[in-house]
Amino acid sequence: MNSDEIKQDFESALVKHLAFKARLRSFLYGNNSAEGPLRDPAQCVLGQWIAERRRGAYRQVPEMKALDQQHRHIHQQANQLMDLFRAGQPDQAKAGFANVQHTADVITQLLRTIEAQVRTANVDN
């Protein structure tokens, strides 16, 4: 991949990540969006992106494992909040979104770190 393709690939991952947060927040405010992609990291488009890249283009980057772990963690958090919401505790669910935001920030930082490593490795080749 050239530098522009790498940049575009990581921008698309970030957009997928931001869309997940927006859909979760929307769910917690009463929008009945599809729960599968919010609950299951394998159904999530970012989860699919991570799985493909871990097997392929970015398999040599050690931080991909941490990215996958944090991605799974954010889905666990989402499940907890969605369960609270479904149990009639929407205020508690909304209050828990701050923890999701913290994990989301970690994911964003990992994406940036991995992109920088891939770009550096690409220049070296």
Domains of the chain, with CATH numbers?
3-124 (1.20.120)
Look at residue 121 and tell me whether its pLDDT is greater than 90.
Answer: no
Please report the pLDDT score of residue 122 as a whole number: 77
CA 120 remoteness from chain centre: 23
Which has the closest alpha carbon to 70: 106, 94, 27, 40? 106
**Ramachandran region, residue 30 (left: φ > 0; alpha: ψ -120 to 50; beta: rest):** left
Residues 55 and 15 sit within 8 Å (Cβ to Cβ): no
Other beta carbons less than 10 A from residue 1's beta carbon: 13
Q: What percent of the chain has pLDDT over 90?
A: 87
Distance (Å, whole) CA 26 – CA 20: 10
pLDDT band, residue 125 (cuts 50/70/90) = low
CB proximity list for 9: less than 8 A, separation 6 or greater: 1, 57
Rg (CA), the chain: 16
Please report the pLDDT score of residue 1 as a whole number: 81
Distance (Å, whole) CA 121 – CA 125: 6
Q: pLDDT tens digit string along 66-117?
A: 999 999 999 999 999 999 999 999 999 999 999 999 999 999 999 999 999 9
